[in-house]
Amino acid sequence: MRFFEYESRAVLAREKIPVADGGLARTPDEAADIAASVGGPVVLKSQVLTGGRMKAGGVKFADTPEEAREAAEAILALEINGHMPRGVLVGAKAPIAQEYYAGVIYDGIRKLPTFVFSDMGGIDIEEVAEQHPDHIGRGHFSTVLPHMDFRAKDVIASVGITGSDLNRLTPILSKLAALFVKYDMTLAEINPLAKLEDGTFMAVDAHMDMENEARPRQKELLEELGVADEETREAREPTEFEIEGERIDAVDHRGVAGNVTEFDGNLGLVIGAGGGSLTLFDAVQKHGGKPANYCEIGGNPSVSKACNLTKLVLSKPGVDKIAVMMSIVSNTRVDIVARGVIKACVELGYDPAEKIAIFRIPGAWEDEGFKILSKYGVEYCDRSVSMHEAARRAVEKVAA
Amino acid sequence: MSNMLIDESTTFIVQGITGREAVNLTRECLDYGSKIVGGVTPGRRGREVHGVPVYDSVAQLVEAEGSVPDGSVVTVPPTFTRDAVFEAIEAGIKLIVIVTERIPRYDVAQMVELAQLRGARIIGPNCLGIIRPGVAKMGGIGGPAKDAAKAYKPGIVGVMSRSGGMTTEISSTLSAAGLGVSTAVSIGGDAIIGSTYAELMPLFEADEQTQAIVIYTEPGGRMEAELAKWVTENDSRLPIVAFMAGRFMDAMPGMSFGHAGTIVEGKADTAAEKIARLSEAGITVAEEIAEIPALVQAKLGKEVAA
């Protein structure tokens, strides 16, 4: 789950990492007030969960509260990559001597959290890594041993920093690592981390991601930041179709109908589980099919959950037929899914044999399932028909 | 214990044994011939699950049994998983299969780091476990014994998969084609897992029954690049065929599908990039599951000829 910049700054401040004066404004008047209290020149930044805001015109400078009001008005009305801003961050424009980068991420291969530090801040760290690898320091730290500052110090010193800069930067990077752990972040970065003309350091921009799995145990921080439970903070806002999918999953604890995602095709998909859905969605596209949706059913869903999900997919405008497909199941019951999808067709007044292009779920209780399907004349197949072949047959029927 | 993770003499326990899924898993493993020597659920000492004695703690179980079991299957809620895994490792257990999903990444990193410090191995989290067809299974992999027997026939191909369900689909395809499966490992779908493809390769390498490897992969992470590097640096006798699912995700950066670790955040995470890496290392990437047996045959034929 991604945080807005103003939230990331609040997390830094909470952990005693210095950040520039300022605050979030939701109206032009608020922006003018913050600029007046900061005193002096300010920078105004659009608060959106997407990149490229500088290029899009989402960052402006102002010397007076009146200029800040005008800049905020423009920024608040500006949509960036399909996102409207949550507000505008108004911050003191500090006189910067040099920009640094400080970050903490996971290394999935070493399976440890990793510091990333550079004396070339303010630009994309990937770019620095490619073009100036000698300006990047990295180092893992233990998740079992107590947290120690020397790990951060070693990383900073490795790019050639010494003197009072080293001693001032070490606690900042070390605290960033500590908060990364404390708040279950998967990314915590300060970029740029500015050295001011007086020799002190200050976070100018920050970016953090919290792991979704950890949200329940981070309730205190999330409440303090005002992040509501229903805010998914996905890469794109959920559609009505997707919200309804989540509701269907939530109202019945039996089994899973997860990750319901809308696409604009004509073949509805009732597919599962994690790996099976990825494989089947690819298979439909490979054979020229246009999926109307993605989903992941599994964990032995009830008849009603399978039925409600199928109804949702069938009711989506433009959906011609559905394909009900999974990899071999051992926990989910074939007969229960079969009942659910047939019930959905019948209750919506459709002929299951007509609406269900193919049913390919082999495995537990398949004989019972196949009996029900043949009674309704639905085309089904067992494991001898591959997932890709089943997808091909479904695509062919929709095209016909 | 066997070089290939488990064999007919492997003893293991189930932590969280009184949970609904764990009860099923215990039944399935016992029916398949696995040796489950006990289970742990705090506060449930004295009960039995399908004849398996239940204890309050691993230490209690070890004392009662008079020996440390070879392995543990951990299936407790995510909030309690770290504690359970630490308990198993500190009791001296060397092979831990973590079934639980939705465990925060920091907890996973801690469990994996402690396992490394103590010389233990973790499979998972978010996995279905290990099966040696016809010998034993450790975890829910393949489902009830009769279903597992149908999908997994003993044979020559080692299978590793980030998806539990697809482990069975691929193994069933290999079994139907007459190649069969030596050992299949559901390695888990999280961003950090205890044992990656490259870390398990030396075990398959040392296993005489295994003559080829099939892996199931997804976008997200660097595990495939790590395998490609391993293959390039080690003169492996085992030909590898890979299947990459989730190719559609390349066009949808930042969106998560399938498993917790399945997300395109950078170029190296994409299916296209991974396919290129694997191919460069001489790993054949199948377009469809159904092609896999023929691709394995072709590679084996070539290996024999060379």
- Chain B CB contacts of A209 under 8 Å are none
Find, in chain B, the residue whose alpha carbon is nearest to that of A235: B254
Looking at residue A273, its pLDDT comes to 87
B228 touches chain A (CB under 8 A): no
Whether the pLDDT of residue B21 is over 80: the answer is: yes
- The nearest alpha carbon in chain A to B191 belongs to A108
Mutation site for A-interface testing, chosen from B27, B85, B106 by largest number of A Cβ within 10 Å: B106
Tell me the shortest Cα–Cα distance from B38 to chain A, in angstroms: 23
Q: Report pLDDT digits (tens) over B156-210.
A: 999 999 999 999 999 999 999 999 999 999 999 999 999 999 999 999 999 999 9
Bond before B125 cis per omega within 30 degrees = yes
- For an interface test with A, the pick among B123, B248, B277, B285 (most A C-beta atoms closer than 10 Å) comes out as B248
pLDDT above 50 for A223: yes
Q: Which of A106, A275, A282 sits opposite B192 (nearest CB)?
A: A106
B-chain residues near A273 (CB < 8 A): 163, 165
Question: CB distance from A171 to chain B under 8 Å?
Answer: no
Element (H, E) at A122: none
DSSP A397: H
B143 with A384: Cβ contact below 8 A: no
DSSP secondary structure string, B101-168? ----HHHHHHHHHHHHHHT-EEE-SS--EEEETTTEEESSTTSSHHHHHHH--EEEEEEEES-HHHHH
pLDDT of the residue at B243: 98
SS3 B5: coil
The tens digit of pLDDT for each residue in A239-279 reads: 999 999 999 999 998 899 989 999 999 999 999 989 999 99
Among B172, B254, B288, whose Cβ lies nearest the Cβ of A328? B172
- pLDDT reported for residue B306: 46
- Asked whether B238 and B212 are in contact (CB, 8 A), the reply is yes
pLDDT band at A234 (very low <50, low <70, confident <90, very high): confident
Q: pLDDT band at B229, cuts 50/70/90?
A: very high
Portion 87-116 of B in contact with A at CB < 8 A: 102-106, 108-110, 112-114
Measuring CA to CA, which residue among B150, B167, B169 is closest to residue B158? B167
Q: Using a pLDDT cut of 90, give the percent of chain A over it.
A: 88
Looking at residue B1, its pLDDT comes to 47
Chain A residues whose CB is inside 8 A of the B221 CB are 108
Whether the predicted pLDDT of B304 surpasses 70: no
A257 to chain B: closest CA residue: B258
| Distance (Å) from the alpha carbon of B306 to chain A's nearest alpha carbon | 32
Over residues A46-68, mean pLDDT? 93
Q: What percent of chain B has pLDDT over 70?
A: 98
B216: chain A residues, CB-CB within 8 Å: 275
Is A277 in Cβ contact with B112 (below 8 Å)? no
Q: A246: distance to nearest CA of chain B, Å? A: 14
Contact call for B221 and A108, based on CB within 8 A? yes
Helix H segments across chain B? Answer: 20-32, 58-65, 78-90, 105-118, 145-151, 164-176, 197-205, 223-233, 271-280, 292-305
Residue matched to tokens 């989506």 = A316
Tell me, what's the ipTM? 0.96
A-facing residues of B in 30-69 (CB < 8 A) are none
Inform me whether the pLDDT recorded for A34 exceeds 60. yes
- Compute how many other C-beta atoms are within 10 angstroms of the C-beta atom of residue A9: 25
* Chain A contact present for B124, CB below 8 A: no
Q: Percent of chain A at pLDDT above 70?
A: 100
**Where in the sequence numbering do the catalytic residues of B fall?**
259
Q: Which residues of B touch A329 (CB under 8 A)?
A: 143, 165
| Smallest CA–CA distance from B108 into chain A, residue | A111
Residues of A in contact with B253 (CB under 8 A): 235
Question: For residues B224 and B193, what is the distance between their CA atoms, to the nearest angstrom?
Answer: 13
Task: List the single best residue of B24, B113, B218, B249 to mutate versus A (max A Cβ within 10 A).
Answer: B113
Query: How far A277 CA sits from the closest chain B CA (Å)?
Result: 7
Cβ contacts from A onto B, under 8 A: 165
From A327's Cα to the closest Cα of chain B, the distance in A is: 6
A-proximal residues of B, 139-198, CB under 8 Å: 140, 142-144, 147-148, 151, 161-166, 168-169, 172-173, 176, 189, 191-192, 196
Q: What is the mean pLDDT of residues A130-139?
A: 94
A162 in B contact zone (CB under 8 Å): no
Report pTM.
0.95
**Residue contact A388–B257, C-beta within 8 A:** no
Question: What is the pLDDT of chain B when averaged over all its residues?
Answer: 95
Which residues on chain B are in Cβ contact (under 8 Å) with A126? 266
By C-alpha distance, which of A376, A299, A367, A297 is closest to A330?
A: A299
Q: What is the pLDDT of residue A82?
A: 84
| Distance of residue B134 Cα from the nearest chain A Cα, in angstroms | 18
Res B50 pLDDT > 90:
yes
Mean pLDDT of A393-397: 97
Nearest chain A CA: its distance from B259 CA (Å)? 6
- The answer to whether the CB of B216 falls within 8 A of the CB of B166 is yes
Residue B2 has what pLDDT?
59
Contact (CB<8Å) A143/B106: yes
Please tell me the predicted confidence (pLDDT) of residue B155: 98
Contact A326 B245 (CB under 8 A): no
pLDDT of residue B59: 98
* Helical residues (DSSP H) of chain A, grouped into ranges: 5-14, 28-38, 53-56, 65-76, 125-131, 149-157, 163-182, 219-225, 240-251, 274-286, 303-314, 334-347, 352-355, 366-375, 387-399
Question: Which range (A83-87, A141-145, A172-176, B265-269) has the least confidence?
Answer: B265-269
Interface of A with B in 252-271 (CB under 8 A): 259, 261
The residue among B104, B101, B121 whose CA lies nearest residue B200 is B121
Other residues' Cβ atoms within 10 Å of the Cβ of residue A147: 15
